[in-house]
Structure 1
Amino acid sequence: MSDILYLTSMEPRSGKSAVALGLLDLLAADVRRLAVFRPVVPDHSRPDPIVELARQRYDLEIAEDDAVAFTYSTAAELIEAGGPQKLIEAIVDHVARLRERYDFVLCVGTDFTGPSPAVELDLNADLAANLGAPVIQVLSGHSRTADAVSTALREGAAVLKTHGCEVLATIVNRAGPEHGNLACATPPVYVVPDLPVLAALTVAEVVAALDGTLLSGDGPALQREVDSYLAGSAYLQTVLPLLKDGTLLVSSGDRIDLAVGVAAAAVSPDLPTPAGIVLTVGHVPDERSLKLLEPSGLPVIAVKADTYTTLHRLEGLTGQLRADSARKVAAALGAFADHVDTEVLRTRIQLAKPDVVTPHMFSAQLIARARADKRTIVLPEGDDDRILLAAEELTQRGVADLVLLGNVEQITAKATQLGTDVTNVRIIDPLTSPLRDAFATTYAELRAHKGVTPAMAYDVVGDVSYFGTMLVHAGEVDGMVSGAAHTTAHTIRPALEVIRTLPDVSLVSSAFLMCLPTKVLVFADCAVVPDPDAAQLADIAVCAAETAVKFGVEPKVAMVSYSTGQSGTGVDVDKVRAATELVGAKHPDLPLAGPIQYDAAVDPAVGAAKLPGNPVAGHATVLIFPDLNTGNTTYKAVQRAASAIAVGPVLQGLRRPVNDLSRGCTVADIVNTVAITAVQAQGAMR
């Protein structure tokens, strides 16, 4: 197994950061202790953006000082004192210490912005050779002909070969349609298209670059990209026709009339949505004027410089890929996954199958599985900000095809205000959809025994939760995720009425995927069934074992109780004992232990002492709790005490997947739940 990889570009502005992000995502699926390393970085006091992106997104333990060896100036001093070899020796020693502490080191080469860019390729090649690191080279196709890129490919490969480097793959980044024929299999050359969004400044970056003060607007609006600048030096009626989506107005702070007019444009469905407002010359509007700006949600920034100076400073700036730039991260990861054969690359890097699974590894594997067999998921709460932000990320990363429910104009307007792109998402209004009549007929037939008439059914299926469930039932979509704004009952009740349970399953239950630091456990039931009887508990155990298999967890089922083995009696432990016997009779090959106490289920020493010889004791991966009180309390205690990430609840037992979100869910929660639902749908009953 390889434990090191060197990523080097051939020139400046190749988009190396986006490639580094794609490689980090690939490595995060297989590597527990991952480190990112920069040999030489520019001279400035800010943290290196690639290092910070890696540390924040993947929770890497490596400190900034360990992740960076030298700045250009300190590297020059070392070369002056001892020659280039002295620098190389110091970097090799630094990396050797990292290799002792981490399972894998991704070395990201220099930025070609130092005092001698012409010699940097030689330096990177020397470093890779001395580190014994295979190389992935990146070059830019931006503003280059296909012939020019082919020449650069040959020249770069020749330099690396001269230094004795092994080239695993080449990535032609920022490419155009004319570069498509450069892709080849041996050695792999991958062509990744240019994504202008990656170079665009976000409003948050504008605030930082101008040393501005944010007067109003925050959250997702700060991550919106700035597409153009507009100097506010005329009357409002002259400025408004010049506005475009993503325009940043830069105007004197005493022109509050322009600021208010542009803010009004942001909430008008008939006008473009600007990115924000910069008020110059150090003038801050009074409190009453600021109140007029707040309803738009637009970021309003105050700066001390004049309008001309401010525009001049912005003119030469480009955006960077940062951990908090959700749209840029999703776009970069989506492009990398779409255009780079990650399985071939994983094989060439010689990554071994990991013995442990960390939360980041689990999440990366989950996304990869969803992408491999893409499904269509409906999100009924289409007007929720978090849903729209998640929808953009999911579509950009190619995790699933999506359907949003709600008023089309309202959803589109809100997406525009948020700066999110949902052009590739299908939006259906249940109230006006031609499917409503057919769904009403079907629902009336399904619920006729409950006295539901066609007229009643027509009203029911106008509800987004019922309409979404009918889409699943009809096979129009593969699954549904709801609950960001609705109760659990509102999500589950339609599924119980329409989709119903699998054959031989008596009830719908839930499971949480508990991502601990080194493994993933399945806990059930923690959210749905208050007090299951023995037969229901057995069903929950079987469904949870199947859930485990779907998500790559080898099922070893522990039927949890306050007593282990035959040591205790009583109604509660007898129920668990009876459920264990039912599971064993139906599935004699399923590794099973019960009744068993929690510590005996997960601690090998305790398990060996309390239930000697049982293969599950101390090694359980699926833990079945006797009732909702125990399950819910335990999962939350483990979540907090062990710093575990609880993914779920995942509903199990339904013929087709429907999953519930917490009303306090984050965008990341929604992304993970949609991926889970897509994976469930890959094996759902048809």
Structure 2
Amino acid sequence: MTRSVYVAGVGRGDGRQVVELGMMELLTRQVERVGVFRPLAHDEADPVFDLMRARYRLSQAPGSVLGMRYEEASAVQAEHGTDELVSRLVRRYHDIADDYEVVLVLGSDYADTSIPAELSLNARLANECGAVVIPVVGGQGHTADVLVPEVRNALHAFTSLGCDVLAMVVNRVGDAHAQQAARELGGHLPVPVYVLPEDPALSAPTVSQVRTALGARVLMGDDSGMARDVRDYVFGGAMLPAFLPALTPGALVITPGDRADLIIGSLAAHSAGAPAIAGVLLTLGERPGDETMALAARLAPGTPVLAVDDGSFRTAAELATLEGRLTAATPRKADIAVGLFESHVDGSRLTSRLSVAPTGRITPMMFEHMLIERAQSQRRRVVLPEGAEERVLRAAEVILRRGVCDLTLLGDEAVIRRNIAELGLGLPLLAPDEAPGQAAHAQVIDPVTSPLRDRFAEVYAKYRAHKGVSVELAHDVVADVNYFGTLMVQEGLADAMVSGSVHSTAATIRPAFEVIKTAPGASIVSSVFFMCLADKVLVYGDCAVNPDPNAEELADIAIQSAATAAKFGVEPRVAMLSYSTGTSGTGADVDKVRTATEIVRSRRPDLLIEGPIQYDAAVDPTVARTKAPDSPVAGQATVLVFPDLNTGNNTYKAVQRSAGAIAVGPVLQGLNKPVNDLSRGALVQDIVNTVAITAIQAQDQDRGREQ
């Protein structure tokens, strides 16, 4: 029977979307097929499902999610009674349930409905669907003294109606009351209780959401600017000297469109980072002149300037109740929500109580979850030399929110802080003399001005003395961010390094070859990509480092790649690729692959390996039955070793682009300490995944040294 989890609120404004998203995160770690069902909604469109569908690559059709609209439900209940309403909704649940291992049921929202006793209806639906229930209690504006009895009452309400309550969640609790509420509720109820604090970044609307709510026109601003959070509103009426001190970080400046002084002053302050604002909203239908707009574009390119016809008072009234929403258009808020859930909810305990049997194989989504979870388990410090780059900063926010690892960002601190403010990111940086707390944290080091530069120059000069490198020359070399980051790893000031989003592979890994060098027993440094296809994860090697390996080197690449695959949960079945399968072809290229295969068999007789073999025979069971019917690898290979860099690099990019695969890597193997390269086309999620892999490599190396 399909298992189901019912997330149910007890009233409005509880922000339960955070819990719904967090539960989807937990469920997709365990099973391959997770469905979504929303019994009641106001509209056919479901922004939360659209977000889940995009984030978790769900195959479920949007039209199958909704049970019925409130309007229809109210009519059914009035005409035929509650029993008939429940019966119809449960039938619609079962219409989709059989297709999934687990169904996440999203309870009703209590907003402007004509359904009486809505809590009882949710409880009954949960019972009829055989679902365990997670009630969510809204804690906004409440003290701990008020929240404790509310949670007890909510638990009693659901259990008295026969519900099997999995856990209770209290959401949006003010910081001053969250710890006290957690202490008073913990251990005093028969089910786990989790308290999630209010996160202003979730409740803040984006500039884009303000635009939609007001029907505003966009006079200026790019996508990045429209995605900024609006954390405050500042109304401009005073003269500029009195107005500027009122600006706050993330504020939306609201002023009549004829106040060119306030418009230019706000944008100039933003450009100087004192402070960085979210944007400017012009009222009264007034549009500044062309000269003013041209100056605005030069001062703060990308910063939104919106315009509405209403006056400031009416505009303020409309904005007063506007809150941020989790949608597919706000992936950053989704990352914040998941990070908040993971930080305050014991996911292992929850999934254990849920008793969902994990799927036997690793899907791409499970692979990505596994990376984050393993990295979180023993936090390491990773240095990111490209600390001022936009994608790196966006990835850093995700990494810290989710507690993947601690970070050191290299670069000019003033530039990094300005870029963080410009992007509207919640990326707190430790001051030079500030001690880190419990949460994942970041620090900034400028290689040019750091006291470590002199020390690193002496260290590097010793490593390269045989090449005639003096301390004076080394002093210039180590100011390069990749050399500085590599030396941090070598000197034990960081556990690992990830670079390459704006640097070439050579610029990223050359310092590692010179300083960190190869690991004991490794004769070559090579790389793999984890290729996350629609239904499986494959390992491709070597697609980034060695142009034309000989047979011995190819054998080393195969053994290293199999070890890396196993380390990350992919059972290694190695295919040594060529343009020929078995004994059907001859020539130097085929002979090289054949020799490499024999070397691997002699050195690692425990490995399942086949070669030479063509790609189609390696991965397609139908082709394998014809070309290699007796092979234990053909048709089900998981580790594919390419004969040269030209073939490997082109193939991984072709698969990535044409099949929509996510390529994680390149992940370097064979180095004495973890250093990994990024593709210069890497997306934010690619950087997050690569940093997680690198942190896990650091964990494994530490365990190896301890043993």
TM tier, smaller: over 0.9
- 3-state SS in 1 of match to 2:618: helix
1:287 is aligned to: 290
What amino acid is the match of 2:564? T
2:411 is aligned to: 406
Please say if residues 362 and 569 of structure 2, whose CA atoms lie closer than 8 Å, have aligned partners that are also in contact: no
| Unaligned 5+ runs, structure 2 | 429-440
2:131 is aligned to: 133
- 3-state SS in 2 of match to 1:312: helix
How far the C-alpha of 1:469 sits from its partner, in A, is: 0.5
Percent identical = 49
- 3-state SS in 2 of match to 1:29: helix
Please say if residues 38 and 107 of structure 2, whose CA atoms lie closer than 8 Å, have aligned partners that are also in contact: yes
1:39 is aligned to: 39
Q: Residue deviations 1:239-260, cap 9 Å, x none?
A: 1111111111111112122111
**Separation in 2 of the partners of 1:60 and 1:589?**
37
How far the C-alpha of 1:117 sits from its partner, in A, is: 7.4
> Does 2:618 align with 1:601?
yes
> Does 2:263 align with 1:265?
no
1:26 is aligned to: 26
1:551 is aligned to: 568
1:179 is aligned to: 181
> Does 2:385 align with 1:380?
yes
Please say if residues 537 and 570 of structure 2, whose CA atoms lie closer than 8 Å, have aligned partners that are also in contact: yes
- 3-state SS in 2 of match to 1:518: coil
How far the C-alpha of 1:136 sits from its partner, in A, is: 1.2
Please say if residues 356 and 518 of structure 1, whose CA atoms lie closer than 8 Å, have aligned partners that are also in contact: no
Instruction: Tell me which of 614, 617, 640 is aligned to 1:623.
Output: 640
**Considering only aligned residues, what root-mean-square deviation do their CA atoms show, in Å?**
1.8
Q: How many residues align?
A: 683
Q: Residue deviations 1:12-61, cap 9 Å, x none?
A: 2112000111011111222323222211123x57x333222212222323
Instruction: Tell me which of 204, 211, 221 is aligned to 2:208.
Output: 204
What amino acid is the match of 2:241? Q
* Equivalent residue runs for 1:506-525 within 5 Å: 506-525=523-542
Instruction: Tell me which of 225, 228, 232 is aligned to 1:228.
Output: 232
Q: Residue deviations 1:594-627, cap 9 Å, x none?
A: 1122122112233243333321122111010111
What amino acid is the match of 1:201? P
> Does 2:333 align with 1:323?
no
**Separation in 1 of the partners of 2:632 and 2:172?**
53
Please say if residues 6 and 131 of structure 2, whose CA atoms lie closer than 8 Å, have aligned partners that are also in contact: yes
Q: Which moved more, 1:481-490 or 1:96-105?
A: 96-105
2:92 is aligned to: 94
What amino acid is the match of 2:610? A
**Separation in 2 of the partners of 1:328 and 1:640?**
27
What amino acid is the match of 1:273? A
- 3-state SS in 2 of match to 1:387: helix
Please say if residues 284 and 309 of structure 2, whose CA atoms lie closer than 8 Å, have aligned partners that are also in contact: yes
- 3-state SS in 1 of match to 2:631: coil
**Separation in 2 of the partners of 1:117 and 1:426?**
52
Q: Residue deviations 1:353-404, cap 9 Å, x none?
A: 2134332222122211211221111110111111111111110111111100
TM-score (norm 1): 0.96
**Separation in 2 of the partners of 1:505 and 1:420?**
41
**Separation in 1 of the partners of 2:109 and 2:595?**
65
- 3-state SS in 1 of match to 2:545: coil
2:431 is aligned to: none
**Separation in 2 of the partners of 1:187 and 1:393?**
30
> Does 2:118 align with 1:113?
no
Please say if residues 38 and 109 of structure 1, whose CA atoms lie closer than 8 Å, have aligned partners that are also in contact: yes
> Does 2:195 align with 1:195?
no
Q: Which moved more, 1:563-572 or 1:14-23?
A: 563-572
- 3-state SS in 2 of match to 1:261: helix
2:142 is aligned to: 144
How far the C-alpha of 1:225 sits from its partner, in A, is: 1.7
1:530 is aligned to: 547
- 3-state SS in 2 of match to 1:233: coil
- 3-state SS in 1 of match to 2:98: helix
2:121 is aligned to: 123
**Separation in 1 of the partners of 2:98 and 2:219?**
48
**Separation in 2 of the partners of 1:549 and 1:661?**
22
> Does 2:278 align with 1:275?
yes
How far the C-alpha of 1:5 sits from its partner, in A, is: 1.1
1:103 is aligned to: 101
Q: Which moved more, 1:284-293 or 1:665-674?
A: 284-293
Please say if residues 7 and 134 of structure 2, whose CA atoms lie closer than 8 Å, have aligned partners that are also in contact: yes
What amino acid is the match of 2:276? T
Please say if residues 3 and 130 of structure 2, whose CA atoms lie closer than 8 Å, have aligned partners that are also in contact: no
**Separation in 2 of the partners of 1:461 and 1:353?**
48
| Unaligned 5+ runs, structure 1 | none
2:258 is aligned to: 254
TM-score (norm 2): 0.93
Q: Residue deviations 1:409-454, cap 9 Å, x none?
A: 1211221122113324100011111111111111111111111111
**Separation in 2 of the partners of 1:34 and 1:285?**
51
Instruction: Tell me which of 490, 502, 520 is aligned to 1:485.
Output: 502
**Separation in 2 of the partners of 1:402 and 1:585?**
42
* Equivalent residue runs for 1:366-377 within 5 Å: 366-377=371-382
**Separation in 1 of the partners of 2:186 and 2:207?**
36
Please say if residues 36 and 54 of structure 1, whose CA atoms lie closer than 8 Å, have aligned partners that are also in contact: no
> Does 2:650 align with 1:633?
yes
How far the C-alpha of 1:639 sits from its partner, in A, is: 2.4
How far the C-alpha of 1:118 sits from its partner, in A, is: 6.7
2:339 is aligned to: 334
**Separation in 1 of the partners of 2:659 and 2:81?**
50
2:15 is aligned to: 15
